[in-house]
Amino acid sequence: MAERRSLVEGLKSTPAVDPVLEDRFVFGEKTKAKPPKHANASSPIAEAQEGKGQAPKRISRAPLTIRFRDTFAEALKRASLERQLQGVVPNTLQDILEEAVEP
């Protein structure tokens, strides 16, 4: 059986790792966002507003926590899932609520 050693000792004895490969392993592709490979790739904002006939724009959002009746929450979730299956926009919980509250 191999001799046991601490993790720190094991890390010290291994050869140096390329920092770029290390970042890609730890953080995935999030560290250095590359532009999309396809010129026709649309942004998530454009996809969310697709079909509304509006140009995509940045929307800042603030977190808000509320207490909602469970029957409303169940109905909202059901409506969201049914709209997703039918391909109707808006179909996310957030988009449905924003459209309902929007003046």
Instruction: Say how many domains are in the chain.
Output: 1
> What is the structure's pLDDT at 75?
95
| Beta strands per DSSP E along the chain | none
Is 47 part of a structural domain of the chain?
yes
Q: Give the per-residue pLDDT at 30.
A: 66
In the chain (103 residues long), the average pLDDT of successive 10-residue segments reads: 82 78 80 50 49 68 92 95 94 92 86
Q: Is the peptide bond before 90 cis (omega within 30 degrees of 0)?
A: yes
Residue 67 lies in a domain: yes
d(CA 52, CA 38): 24
**DSSP letter, residue 70:** H
In a domain, 2, yes or no: no
Contacts (Cβ under 8 Å, ≥6 apart) of 40:
none
Nearest Cα to Cα of residue 70 among 61, 62, 78, 58:
78
Among residues 58, 25, 32, the alpha carbon closest in space to that of 43 is found at 58
**Residue 28 lies inside a defined structural domain of this protein:** yes
Range of the domain at 69: 7-53+60-101
Place of tokens 């808000």: 64
Residue 29 confidence (pLDDT):
73
Is 81 within a domain?
yes
SS3 46: helix
- Burial-class residue 96 by CB neighbours within 10 Å (0-12, 13-18, 19+): middle
Q: Is residue 1 part of a domain?
A: no
pLDDT of residue 93: 93
Q: pTM, whole model, 2 decimals?
A: 0.43
At residue 99, the pLDDT reads: 92
Residue 20 within a domain: yes
